Structure 1
Amino acid sequence: MENEVMYDYMLVIHPDAQTLQDVSIFRHLISEELGMDQAAFSQAHIALFRSEFPERYEADFTGMLEEMVQEQSAFTIYTSRIDHCRQGERHMFYVNVANPKPVEELHRKILRTFELKPGTFRPHMALVRSVNTQQFNRLAPYFTNKMFVRSFHCHSFSLLRKPAGGQQYELVREFRFGRDNASEHPLFNHAA
């Protein structure tokens, strides 16, 4: 189809309001230290899946996800510290997920729903991406060995989209889990 509108779709877990607020404090520090505009930061989230496809497939995509979440149980996400990694010449600071298993399993279910093979997936909440070595060295004293112990109940994920190459994601819809009882999953998943 000619002139089809392509969208960049992303599935994300949003943390609770307190965690969002705490992450925004760190992002404010980053923007002050590096002279960045705070509007450049997206809302804190854990990305589960991202793909670009024509808008006409959106209804099928959401229908398949709606079916998948009916059997999904809620769980608690725990964080423990701020970490960093190198991506080529760039660096990223992020909040680690201390109990990645339930998030990894959700990611695998999403990929299975779309008949995709899982690759490397490490759940995290980015504080700042793609900083150069000089910027990394300026931020490192604030974040090296910094603890960030939080927990929040995960009972849904959101579908976001933006036009391919666009700036801001918009919320398409939220998918609430069919089994919203976190107590079904005791803390055996809580391995740091």
Structure 2
Amino acid sequence: MSTGVPQTRLRTVLSVAAALLIADVVTKCVVVATIAPGRHIRVIGDFATLTLVRNPGAAFSMATGMTWVLSLIAVAVVIGVIRIGRTLRSLWWAIGLGMVLGGALGNLVDRLFRAPGPLEGHVVDFISVGWWPVFNVADSCIVCGAILLVGLTLFGFEPDGTRHRSDRVAEKEGDEEDSEPVK
């Protein structure tokens, strides 16, 4: 039964986040159980390897003494994404925010449940590619989700499902409206 009012995309945000959280937790558990610290498993020569690293900080091992602050930031991100997700109408925004949420939750799980203790746990990183610092599935979800959201913003796709069009395009097409619905 349709009421004519578009439904929000919170379910999509949560589904994407749950799938990515599961993938992150499972891969970290497998890596911790099978790779000794300091051991490198070659995937593509020396370019891509699996290497177990326990990271007490943020990306690039920054803020290593501030793990509890990073935990609180992750909690704020989770709350913020869920609040925004309740108003979303755009599928692509829901996917991007779901990726960010899944990644934030993945690293938050480590900070809450891994040694040395709650809010201070070290994040398990294991993917090493070229000169890039070692990362994990959650990190890649956050980065890819953020890139998607920036791209959507740059191309005028709004969280409410409309597309903001430049004045030049509107004039060219003789259209007086600034936005059009996007599915």
TM-score by length of 1: 0.20
- The structure where strand makes up a greater share of residues is 1
Give the TM-score of the pair, scaled to structure 2.
0.21
Instruction: Name the one with the larger helix percent.
Output: 2
